[in-house]
Amino acid sequence: MPFDEIRTNVISGIVVGIVALPLAIALAIAVGAPPIAGLYTSAFAGGFASLFGGSRYTITGPTAALVPLLTVVVFKFGVEALPVVGVMSGMLLFVMSAFKLGRLMKFMPGLVIIGFTAGIGLSIAFGQIASFLNVTGTDPAHEHFHERMWDLIRHLNTVGWTTPLIGLLAIVLMMLWPFFQGRTSKLKSIPPTFIALIAVSAIVFYVDIDTPTVATRYGDLPGSFPQPRFDWFDIDLIIQLIPSSIAISILMGVETLLTAVIADNLAVTSRHYKPTQELFGQGMANVIGPIFGGIPATASIARTGAGIQNGATSRLSGITHAIFVLTATIALGSLVGHIPMTVLAAILIVVAWRIMSVHELIKMARTAPRQDHLVLFSTLIITVTVDLTYAIAAGVFLSLILLLRQLTSIESASELQPDETGHIRQVSAELSSLMQQRKDIIFFNAQGLISFHSAFEFERTLLEHDIRPLILRMKDVKYIDTTGMMTLVSIIKSRRKRGAPVMLSAIQPMVHTSLQKFGVLELVGEENVFDGTALAISSVPIDRRNSDSTDDTTPASENQFT
């Protein structure tokens, strides 16, 4: 790697480290862990993910996406459960990597991703109101969203004016800082969150404003290199945490792969990430991180984007970010205690607003079909009020229901008849003319997917007609499943009992193989299976009572007229 590129990636990593410091502290506190845990997570999980992952750009650490699930784990099992659930989730990511489940990411409905991301944002924002306002007297035992919010409202009378004003000052600084950056190029590398953290903390310290700080809540942070620990291992706790670990690992996988996709798009690179290796890297991050005092982690869109915007081109940026965070933690850990809790809450509220993508939600509400609103807002509401895993399951389920609804509205079989121009549009002009001469034959075109979703309508359509010979043109059938083949067998048997022969024409190779294995071709008879529709027509003796043909023969060599 050229020296200039090394320098650019090191500078990018330092900038990302500056971005990561306040977020790591705030996110650790948001889930109920001590602030030092967030810093160790950025350092160790971030470093190992960059070393072993499948993307050159993604930056790993504590993320807002995991906050709702980890908060529930801490509420039910205590903060000592975080390293256990982290390692278990990491092991499950190894399993996902081994089975190459990263490829399934492309099947996640976009509306579900937007919905649960917005829901995560709202959950984080609501969860920070108490710290932002310094509400006191609330009952931490409340588990459900509506109970927590009602308890918060009941205790709003405990709020003073000092702490909320400090929090508002931090938000104003974060909102206004980009305007100053736009005017002075030297300020572009300094993130708004870092400026708000330093400036407001300094004001509170030197003016001696009475407001809760990290030190008053958690004590002083250790300024030393963490020692590996395994005393959190508890077999009983492991068994209880299996459902949570599955949910967290799935979310880790989705968030990580989504971040990797966005990173490739931002970097405009032809060297795309490797999903299987990326899941493995996240597994390493979550197995190693908790051993050194970290909490569960995943790739961060915000920190990854910051790295790319500052010139990141390789893993060196992510590794530098991890080293910078660890060095700053050891050297400056004692200063963290002076950070006001309301400032950290303000940072998370701004982060929540950004990840909600309000403009995207408004656009979807205005432009998306009405049935898509059901998927989007159901996922959002369930994420906030119930649970993220239920929200994803509900969103995917509703998406599948809507997809099936659309599929069942598409005809799987239609009678081939001339339109207002006098031609059968699905076939060539020559074949159209030939078919219109044979009124003694019924012509149907099967199309699309003949599956469980369309089998009933497929059977009803083909059994409604008389006992004239039926030629079923299958050129447009792309796939037929077992249900579809069972239905086709039922149609053939039913028509045969009524003395109505069935012929199949122009079958696609893959469909032909499936029909042959299932025994459909044997049932219909090889003599009734034709490469082209013209050949099928020529095999049917003319019934002059129902035919317009004036000739006793039809061409048998027109295979091209399928």
For the cut 70, the answer to whether the pLDDT of residue 547 exceeds it is no
Q: Give the pLDDT mean for 421-441.
A: 88
pLDDT at residue number 200: 94
For the cut 60, the answer to whether the pLDDT of residue 554 exceeds it is no
Contact 42, 62 (CB under 8 A): yes
pLDDT digits (tens, 9 = 90+) for 345-382: 998 898 888 878 788 888 888 888 888 889 989 989 98
pLDDT at residue number 270: 65
Three-class DSSP category at 449: strand
Assign 558 a pLDDT band (cuts: 50, 70, 90): very low
Assign 498 a pLDDT band (cuts: 50, 70, 90): confident
pLDDT at residue number 106: 66
Q: Which range among 209-218, 334-343, 464-473, 544-553 shows the weakest confidence by mean pLDDT? A: 544-553
pLDDT, averaged across the chain: 87
For the cut 50, the answer to whether the pLDDT of residue 550 exceeds it is no
Contact 445, 491 (CB under 8 A): no
Residues 6+ apart with CB under 8 A from 526: none
For the cut 80, the answer to whether the pLDDT of residue 127 exceeds it is yes
The amino acid at residue 525 is G
Q: Which range among 147-151, 486-490, 528-532, 540-544 shows the weakest confidence by mean pLDDT? A: 540-544
Residues 6+ apart with CB under 8 A from 135: 129, 152, 155, 156, 158, 159
Contact 299, 255 (CB under 8 A): yes
pLDDT digits (tens, 9 = 90+) for 309-325: 888 999 999 999 999 99
**Of 411, 394, 417, residue with least CA distance to 450:** 411
CB atoms near residue 447 (< 10 Å) = 19
The amino acid at residue 561 is F
**Regarding beta strands 59-61 and 298-300, do their DSSP bridges make them parallel or antiparallel, or are they unpaired?**
antiparallel
- What string of DSSP letters covers 243-293? HHHHHHHHHHHHHHHHHHHHHHHHHT-SS---HHHHHHHHHHHHHHGGGGT
**Of 20, 11, 44, residue with least CA distance to 308:** 11
Sign of dihedral through CA atoms 148, 149, 150, 153?
A: positive
Looking at per-residue confidence, does 344 or 551 come out higher?
Answer: 344
Enumerate the β-bridge partners of residue 473: 445, 505
Contact 299, 256 (CB under 8 A): yes
Assign 552 a pLDDT band (cuts: 50, 70, 90): very low
Separation of alpha carbons 415 and 338, rounded Å? 78
Distance from first CA to last CA of the chain, Å, rounded?
59
pLDDT at residue number 348: 86
Q: Give the pLDDT mean for 321-343.
A: 90
Please give the distance of CA 505 from its chain centroid, rounded to a whole number: 42
Enumerate the β-bridge partners of residue 14: none
DSSP 532: S
On whether the 413-538 domain is CATH 3.40.50.300, my answer is no
Q: Where are the beta strands (DSSP E) in 62-138?
A: none
For the cut 90, the answer to whether the pLDDT of residue 544 exceeds it is no
pLDDT digits (tens, 9 = 90+) for 172-209: 999 998 888 767 766 666 778 888 989 999 999 999 89
Enumerate the β-bridge partners of residue 61: 298
Q: Give the pLDDT mean for 258-267.
A: 84
pLDDT digits (tens, 9 = 90+) for 56-104: 999 999 998 898 889 989 999 999 999 999 999 999 999 999 999 887 7
Separation of alpha carbons 341 and 35, rounded Å? 11
Q: Which span out of 46-60, 335-349, 413-427 was modeled with the highest average pLDDT?
A: 46-60
Query: The tokens of 111 are what?
Result: 């509306």
Enumerate the β-bridge partners of residue 300: 59
**Of 560, 412, 396, residue with least CA distance to 479:** 412
User: For residue 401, what are the CA distances in angstroms to 131, 308, 483?
Assistant: 41, 39, 18
Locate tokens 């953290």: which residue? 197
Locate tokens 């708004």: which residue? 192
Contact 279, 258 (CB under 8 A): no
Contact 63, 295 (CB under 8 A): no
For the cut 70, the answer to whether the pLDDT of residue 442 exceeds it is yes
pLDDT at residue number 404: 81
**Of 251, 357, 257, 369, residue with least CA distance to 304:** 257
Ordered by start, the domain boundaries in the chain are 3-357, 413-538
Contact 326, 320 (CB under 8 A): no
Q: Where are the beta strands (DSSP E) in 327-451?
A: 413-415, 442-450
pLDDT at residue number 352: 83
Enumerate the β-bridge partners of residue 444: 415, 472
